[in-house]
Structure 1
Amino acid sequence: MKQKTVKTLACTAFALLAFAGNSVLCRLALADGAIDAASFTAIRLFSGIIMLGVILLATTDWRAPAAKGSWPASFMLFLYAVTFSYAYISLDTGTGALILFGSVQLTMILASLLSGKSLHGTEWLGTLMAFSGFVYLVQPGVTAPSVTGFVLMAVAGIAWGIYTLKGRGTRHPLCDTSYNFLRTLPFVLLLMIPAIADGYLSRTGVLLAVLSGAITSGIGYAIWYIALRGLSVIQAAVVQLLVPVLAALGGVIFAREQISLQLVLSSLLVLGGILLVVMGRHYANGLGPKKTS
């Protein structure tokens, strides 16, 4: 039991660092013009395809005949990747990660509402707090993010949230993910056609894109699936709230970015609100401590 716990903790830590690493690598590549956004997206997805293919062939999941992913999920994966890249042209690392993961969680909350599930008081309060945090983040000021970057990253978060929802209940997540990555190739080719004339590649930019695709995406997602086996739904939701914090720290260390008071306050509102929703749902479902009469 102890060995399993240590394995879960180690896998969870690696996965969270990988998720934050995606933001840092993308920002490093695009902020200094080491590569254009379209090329970064294409190389990232292609590297992820290769890495996931290698991992898949090393397991037995590839034998699952029904686990082939889906075209809608693949398009959402591509939409997430391309808007993620273009958003980081103008967003700082921590700001982008906050918008991304906040949008992911809010998308899943909205999907829950649309499916007929009602929210109780604590969940409504948390949702209001999270939206208030986003509104405060984009208020005009020296440290406010660009509107274009905010919208693009919000779309990336919505796409990733839908992609996550489409993958719920899969019996062979690694296999489905590998096929979903593979199916992004036609979209990548369409993306590259108009970008050929304006594309720019450097060794540093290509290296950062490969690391993002193969390590922080390919291996990161595979490790996350392992971690999920030892995490409850509530634990998996809560620990992901650490990613924007880790990404912001990575931006300070590697990209020499500054953490503004506006980002700190909006982070507290967004992440605190989502935490309220997650915990509220947890206790509303009767999973918390039982009341004694």
Structure 2
Amino acid sequence: MGIKETKKNIDTGIVEVESYPSEQVSSQEKGPLILEDIVVRFDNKETEIAEQLVTGREHLQIISIFGMPGVGKTTLAKKLYNNPSPVHHFDKRASCVVSQTYNKINIFADILRSVKDHDEETIMQMDDESSVEALYKSFIKWRYLIVGDDIWDMNSWNDFGRYFPNNKNGSRILFTTRHKEVGLKASHHSVVNELPILSDVECWELLQRKVFQKEHCPQELVDIGKQTNCQGLSLAVVVIAAILEKIEMKNPMAQSCKKFEFQLYLKTQTSSETY
């Protein structure tokens, strides 16, 4: 049921483990579990994009991360937002989620809350015009970083990106998108970064590490485990692994049951519609 629900919701972005029954997943390993494991393969990419954020042209630079839903764009963007290099480089930082259905005033309100230039009551009373004015004034004198998650198309980008000042002091806007064209058309000097899907080998290594931790996968499960089809999506591997890893053990033959459920699940999963 959990996998079917994830498949249904995958296009909405990162799906947290909280969406699965509490008896399957322990509370201390929910959100951070997914964030940690999806980005482990993107260490080099994180370093590369962090360098793009703090070096280069003085004019406002637009940088995008594109890739399939579930490949890890949102997670990587969050890591970059908190990366020590940008944190120390920019005077002001703010992040927001745009998504397919959005409200411009609400997005700007979230950004203004991040920089804490206005109290909550003032922000709540702003209309479209006053929020745009407040946004401009909040950033015009500062070197800033704005991270926008899930820009769907050029209309979304125009509604989001055109109101930030080009103060020629090295400010940056970083956003995630599913479509390369959005990143290319956002600016004449935009920088586009692609996140590729996992290879079959990488999928298996991540699944094996998450389910069995430091132990080796039992030999009888290796062949069926390697057949798991997660379509190269980091999120799919981590969510599947989290569910398998935390299945409750309620009888004396717990370890044998776990191996059986692992094998049974993978056989079912690989013989039905792919994730």
Range class of TM-score, shorter chain: under 0.3
Greater RCO, CA 8 A, separation 6+: 1
Q: Which has the higher helix share?
A: 1
Q: Which structure is larger by alpha-carbon Rg, 1 or 2?
A: 2
Whichever structure has more strand as a proportion of its residues is 2
Normalized against structure 1, the TM-score is what? 0.25
